[in-house]
């Protein structure tokens, strides 16, 4: 009997030492995805905390291809980049990127009409 209790205590202590699986809400998963997508493209050409024009083009065409297509028109790309670069520092930072995603999300959110 003593051995059984000792075994249970040992299993309990052992379970406390194991890393816990983090359970994220859907919103937390979305936030993590927003962040990881930004960092997937940032830092290839410059600062890892910003997107250059080339990195932004890659992100737009690979992640939002159905919206932006192949984005071959340089004038259009320049306009998009200029509009996103709110502080005109020549790169798109995380805040500017999040603003773009939020604005696009709002445009896609059509209110459900009540009958």
The CATH number for 61's domain is 1.10.238.10
Query: What's the total number of domains in the chain?
Result: 1
Percent of the chain at pLDDT above 90?
41
Count of CB atoms situated within 10 Å of the CB of 77: 18
Length in residues, the chain: 115
| Mean pLDDT on 13-21 | 68
Q: Give Cβ neighbours of residue 41 (< 8 Å, ≥ 6 apart).
A: 51, 55, 56, 58, 59
Residue 7, in any domain of the structure: no
Q: Write out pLDDT tens, residues 34-79.
A: 999 999 999 999 899 999 999 998 998 899 877 766 666 778 778 8
What's the domain range around 69? 50-108
Taking residue 68's Cβ as centre, other Cβ atoms within 10 Å add up to 16
Whether the pTM exceeds 0.75: the reply is: no
Instruction: Flag whether pLDDT at 1 surpasses 60.
Output: no
In a domain, 9, yes or no: no
Backbone angles phi, psi at 71, to 5 degrees: 50, 50
């Amino acid at each position: 009997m003593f051995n059984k209790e000792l075994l249970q205590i040992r299993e309990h202590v052992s379970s406390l030492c194991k890393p816990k699986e983090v359970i994220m809400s859907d919103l937390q998963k979305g936030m993590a995805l927003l962040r990881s997508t930004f960092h997937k493209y940032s830092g290839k050409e410059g600062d890892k905390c910003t997107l250059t024009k080339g990195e932004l083009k890659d992100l737009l065409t690979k992640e939002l291809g159905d919206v932006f297509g192949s984005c071959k028109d340089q004038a259009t790309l320049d306009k998009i980049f200029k509009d996103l670069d709110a502080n005109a520092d020549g790169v798109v930072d995380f805040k500017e990127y999040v603003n773009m995603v939020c604005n696009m999300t709002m445009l896609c959110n059509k209110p459900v009409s009540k009958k």
